[in-house]
């Protein structure tokens, strides 16, 4: 048979060398969609006069969108209209007044890297299939490890901080008792981990997922600022031992979700060393302070941790998701713990150094190159630019605190140590009332507690930003 595109090859009713998809139409669609995205998302991202969200409740939004997938495809024009609708009704997380979550804003360099990623569509199990992205991940991990203060280490990017925390928990368990990988927990005494009452909810999710059980997460008391009390940690370790249970892990938090509290790592490390426990630091939110010479003291002692979770997708704006699990160990513990040695993927007789095939250190098989977007931002801004970003977030929080203090009807919960600013709005009807139990009962019925995180504030700070934003929640401001 002569190869060639002219002679049709039929198999099972399919013309193999016939047109499959309309390539030209597809290319044109991508081009037009990019133009739309540039206009409707990127160029409007910094425009404070645009809406954060065109809010519609679920039932109405379902009417407004054409969600149904049909037997035949839609026209290009219809598809572009759909793209427009998706953008129109989506929350603009890039908007200067998007305050809802632990991230916000648009980093142009990370965005470019993310579009490259989508176009190349890599999966980073092995070097042969993702050479560039695996070297980039190696370089980024090395720099992050330096920031933590370790001379060397290991690590892996995971799909989010919750997964990084889970992976750390599993790693600590493996170090404690490698047999569990094969034999499981059945028949063993209860394993106990300790974390503060203010920790992220992923600790409980992880304990349940890993078969440890949420009851075996012992919550250590916190002080008035939400920081773990090391004395109570030690007390609870002794107590767990007395119960016949087996402590194996302490999870400290650097930057709690609500108060932005930093656990005292040095003192906690002392306790861990005394008891031979793995110290994991969930710095998913607070880790970014490590790049600021001025503010990294908040994480003093982090170099004594055995593992650290840190999400550059939060304050450093790398894009959802970008979460590193960093590990101090250099004896290949991560690989020993996670590897399943699938022979179809991780052959040992390749024509290059297979230590670059790092995919077997992950719980995932297909894995996205999340380090790449952070690398591009770091390249674009330099370490000094990242530092400025963090310092600015701190300064914005400080500014908000000062404004809250000046303004009637606002009550600061406490002086922040990080960029979380917690405060109450006091409705006019309660402003003259004494701050007794009745006041607090009424307040929590009538209004909500606000948390603003500095870096979320309008980039061109404006003393009215807060009040203007709150007008969008009239129901709570009665």
Footprint of a copy of itself on residues 357-396 (CB under 8 A)? 363-368, 372, 375-376, 378-385, 388-389, 391-392, 394-396
**Shortest Cβ distance from residue 328 to a copy of itself (Å)?**
21
CA 336 to chain centroid: 26
Which residue lies nearer to a copy of itself by CB, 399 or 410? 399
Site for a copy of itself in 22-41 (CB under 8 A): 23, 25-27, 29-31, 33-34, 37-38, 41
Q: How far is CA 127 from CA 132, 150, 156, 157, 207, in A?
A: 8, 26, 14, 15, 33
Q: Does 12 bind a copy of itself (CB under 8 A)?
A: yes
Site for a copy of itself in 57-86 (CB under 8 A): 57-58, 61-62, 65, 67-74, 79, 82-83, 85-86
**Shortest Cβ distance from residue 135 to a copy of itself (Å)?**
6
Cα torsion at 217, 222, 225, 227 (round to 10°)?
-60
| Number of residues forming the site for a copy of itself (CB under 8 A) | 174
Site for a copy of itself in 101-120 (CB under 8 A): 101, 103, 106-109, 111-116, 118-120
Which residue lies nearer to a copy of itself by CB, 204 or 411? 204
Q: How far is CA 205 from CA 30, 163, 199, 259, in A?
A: 39, 10, 12, 21
Torsions phi, psi for 277 (to 5 deg): -105, 145
Q: Does 177 bind a copy of itself (CB under 8 A)?
A: no
Q: Does 163 bind a copy of itself (CB under 8 A)?
A: yes
Strand ranges (DSSP E) for 89-153?
none
**Shortest Cβ distance from residue 39 to a copy of itself (Å)?**
11
Residue 65: closest CA among 138, 169, 74: 74
Q: Does 145 bind a copy of itself (CB under 8 A)?
A: no
> How far apart are alpha carbons 334 and 168 in whole angstroms?
9
- Exactly one of 50, 51, 89, 412 binds a copy of itself (CB under 8 A); which one? 89
Burial of 186 (0-12, 13-18, 19+ CB in 10 A): exposed
Binding mask 207-226 for a copy of itself (x = CB under 8 A): xxxxxxxxxx----------
> How far apart are alpha carbons 161 and 269 in whole angstroms?
22
Torsions phi, psi for 325 (to 5 deg): -100, 120
Which residue lies nearer to a copy of itself by CB, 38 or 266? 38
Residue 256: closest CA among 218, 288, 284: 284
- Which region, judged by CB under 8 A, interacts with a copy of itself, from 153-161, 231-239, 264-272, 411-419? 153-161
DSSP codes joined into one string, 235-301: HHHHHHHHTT-EEEEEEEEBS-TTT--B--HHHHHHHHHHHT-EEEEE-TTGGGGGG-TTTGGGGTT
- Which region, judged by CB under 8 A, interacts with a copy of itself, from 148-156, 221-229, 348-356, 424-432? 348-356
> How far apart are alpha carbons 445 and 244 in whole angstroms?
44
Which residue lies nearer to a copy of itself by CB, 271 or 310? 310
**Shortest Cβ distance from residue 223 to a copy of itself (Å)?**
20
Q: Does 243 bind a copy of itself (CB under 8 A)?
A: no
Q: Does 260 bind a copy of itself (CB under 8 A)?
A: no
Binding mask 182-201 for a copy of itself (x = CB under 8 A): xxxxxxxxxx--------xx
Site for a copy of itself in 319-338 (CB under 8 A): 319-321, 338
Site for a copy of itself in 445-474 (CB under 8 A): 451, 459-464
Torsions phi, psi for 246 (to 5 deg): -120, 100
Which residue lies nearer to a copy of itself by CB, 72 or 432? 72
Torsions phi, psi for 18 (to 5 deg): -85, 175
> How far apart are alpha carbons 120 and 426 in whole angstroms?
52
Binding mask 269-308 for a copy of itself (x = CB under 8 A): ----------------------------------------
Which residue lies nearer to a copy of itself by CB, 151 or 464? 464
Residue 295: closest CA among 423, 398, 404, 447: 398
**Shortest Cβ distance from residue 112 to a copy of itself (Å)?**
4
Q: How far is CA 72 from CA 32, 46, 68, 77, in A?
A: 22, 39, 11, 15
């Amino acid at each position: 048979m002569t190869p060639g595109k002219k002679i049709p090859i039929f198999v099972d009713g399919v013309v193999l060398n016939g047109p499959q998809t309309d390539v030209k139409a597809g290319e044109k669609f991508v081009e037009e969609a990019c133009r739309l995205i540039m206009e409707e998302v990127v160029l409007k991202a910094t425009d404070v006069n645009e809406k954060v969200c065109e809010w519609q409740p679920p039932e109405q939004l379902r009417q407004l969108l054409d969600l149904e997938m049909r037997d035949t495809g839609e026209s290009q024009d219809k598809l572009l209209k759909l793209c427009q609708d998706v953008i129109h009704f989506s929350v603009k997380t890039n908007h200067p007044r998007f305050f809802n979550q632990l991230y916000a804003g648009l980093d142009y360099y990370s965005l470019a890297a993310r579009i490259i990623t989508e176009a190349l569509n890599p999966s980073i199990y092995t070097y042969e299939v993702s050479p560039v992205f695996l070297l980039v991940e190696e370089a980024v991990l090395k720099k992050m490890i330096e920031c933590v203060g370790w001379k060397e280490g290991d690590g892996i990017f995971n799909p989010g901080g919750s997964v990084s925390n889970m992976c750390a928990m599993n790693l600590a368990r493996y170090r404690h008792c490698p047999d569990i990988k094969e034999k499981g927990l059945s028949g063993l005494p209860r394993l106990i981990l300790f974390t503060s009452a203010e920790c992220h909810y992923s600790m409980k999710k992880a304990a349940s997922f890993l078969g440890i059980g949420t009851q075996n997460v012992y919550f250590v008391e916190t002080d008035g600022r939400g920081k773990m009390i090391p004395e109570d940690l030690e007390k609870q370790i002794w107590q767990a031992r007395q119960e016949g249970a087996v402590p194996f892990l302490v999870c400290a938090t650097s930057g709690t979700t609500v108060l932005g509290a930093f656990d005292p790592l040095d003192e906690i490390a002392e306790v861990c060393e005394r008891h031979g426990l793995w110290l994991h630091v969930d710095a998913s939110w607070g880790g970014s302070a490590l790049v600021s010479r001025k503010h990294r003291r908040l994480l003093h002692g982090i170099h004594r941790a055995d593992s650290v979770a840190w999400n550059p997708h939060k304050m450093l704006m790398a894009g959802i998701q970008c979460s590193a699990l960093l590990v101090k160990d250099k004896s290949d513990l991560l690989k020993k713990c996670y590897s399943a040695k699938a022979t179809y993927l991780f052959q040992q007789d390749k024509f290059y150094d297979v230590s670059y095939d790092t995919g077997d250190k992950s719980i995932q098989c297909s894995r996205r190159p999340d380090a790449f977007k952070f690398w591009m931002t770091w390249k674009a801004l330099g370490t000094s630019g990242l530092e400025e970003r963090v310092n600015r977030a701190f300064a914005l929080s400080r500014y908000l605190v000062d404004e809250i203090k000046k303004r009637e009807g606002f009550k600061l919960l406490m002086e922040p140590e990080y960029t979380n600013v917690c405060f109450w709005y006091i409705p006019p009807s309660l402003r003259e009332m004494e701050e007794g139990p009745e006041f607090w009962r009424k307040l929590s019925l009538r209004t909500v507690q606000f948390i603003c995180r500095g870096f979320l504030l309008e980039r061109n700070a404006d003393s009215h930003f807060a009040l203007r934003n709150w007008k969008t929640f009239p129901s709570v401001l009665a």
